[in-house]
Structure 1
């Protein structure tokens, strides 16, 4: 390969020097990046509606933890633009591989919110049917879902389907070996998979500066030959534009694509975390001024895409949705204690049979 051809090959993989954006922090439009096209007004209106609903769902789920209805909840307040853009960029027959923090994405995908919260409530399964929804179970171990996404993407390709896979991952997950193995495997196989890194600046309490010295996480893909891009993760317009391009790239057979979204986790890691121990209030306030929901609303109002009636309608619908979530989560369900033994082994071991019989006798004694 000539030096010129090598230079062109490298340049084709490199992300933009600064994150792609269409709207400034205050919501005013900025000069559009030449390589990307803004989404249609109709799609942006739908995205806004989902953003309002997603934010309301997140605050409702947080409240449910305080009421004892959820065992834990990892809030995604501040990351709605990443998750909703990811869902909107996909088709219904595409696969989504979420992390434990991506409940808003699942709700936006159309999954019953009570099913979405089943795992976080303490259920032994994810709550929904992955095959029917084409959404993998929310993944708690860091980065393991990226390998699964590559495998699914390759399977879809071999079956002759033009469906793709998208794997969500946090900045902390990019430090895991599974992430690098997934990038390398995807590149070698030219698997149709998009890796969306939601860089919310912290791996629980570890800031990004103590995780990597790379100029951006988007550069992690270059060494594996993966096309990469970085984008303002609090700018829904930019997120949707870049992810749509990434999806088109992989669907057309050009190989995997890595997108780093620069965003921020406004709330604590989970309801069990005290974020004040490792970050300053001034930092949180700075990012709150770039709130993705407020930014999108200002941007759309400024372009005449939405008005007061649209905003009120979205908020009313979100309140009604939150009421449905509360009703669903407050409904008492009867637990079957024998489910403890149902899916451990295909053929129960002698020890499991003994434990099941012991439980049965204890329950029978309580009835007497």
Structure 2
């Protein structure tokens, strides 16, 4: 495929994120379907921070749809598209089914029908969304840049988080913080995260973050909010020009379970706090300039949580750092996505050292100096 004929990877990922958002909205709009789809995670798939963590068919279906679409257009990347979820699903009869996107809508509907155990209408509705031709357009999307012709697709991998903040997605209950526009729980916290990284360096280079429930049109009807960034050596671009909330105030965003000693260090530096759900959502608040920093001291995020927002932040002059390594070495140590120890380290996908997300790397020096104090 010539450079002239090759589709634009960024545009493809944006359209995939919108298709993912459509699937998420379709599932969420039908309470019976949502009830059928929820399964509790267990064992190695459970996130230790939650008593109950959930895997939904929507998660798996979105992930496999993105793999199918990107893999078809960029065959060199097909084997390096990774996600949070296992494609294996157990239906209500206890039968194990592997979710796969078929070549036709009928094939996909038949596969989904095996999971949904007789709910053929629901299976058909989901299959229709999977095979719908989607092209996301919105005035806030900005101009999609042409990617460099020399981009080596063999050297690119993708991390997908199909629905980040799954518990929020399922419950839908919204609670607000003291800061306008920042919710602590609710559908606003749900994101679709698709991040592209270089396999040889582990550096994230293209990111798309979508909020399926970003713009409420009317009761129970939503449009997506879409954010993207490109950070290549020959191209820096994004659609994230946002003014800071208030130059005279410092605001950090955290998990409600964050260590009180960490929070005290931020207080000492004059920061105010917001607490919110969803790693992708909290990173997005840094991207949109609504907060200055997102810190999580625990190793409870994974590569699929951070790859997409980190690529966008890098395009903005920011980054996502390894919290423990940066504090220990007293310099900014970026997260990377090298997969060298897959066989020897079953936990290689975890950001074990915690994370610090910033839009302005210049604030990091003061932060890590304070966080290193005994």
TM (normalized to structure 1)? Answer: 0.27
Which structure has greater helix proportion? 1
TM (normalized to structure 2)? Answer: 0.26
Which structure has greater strand proportion? 2
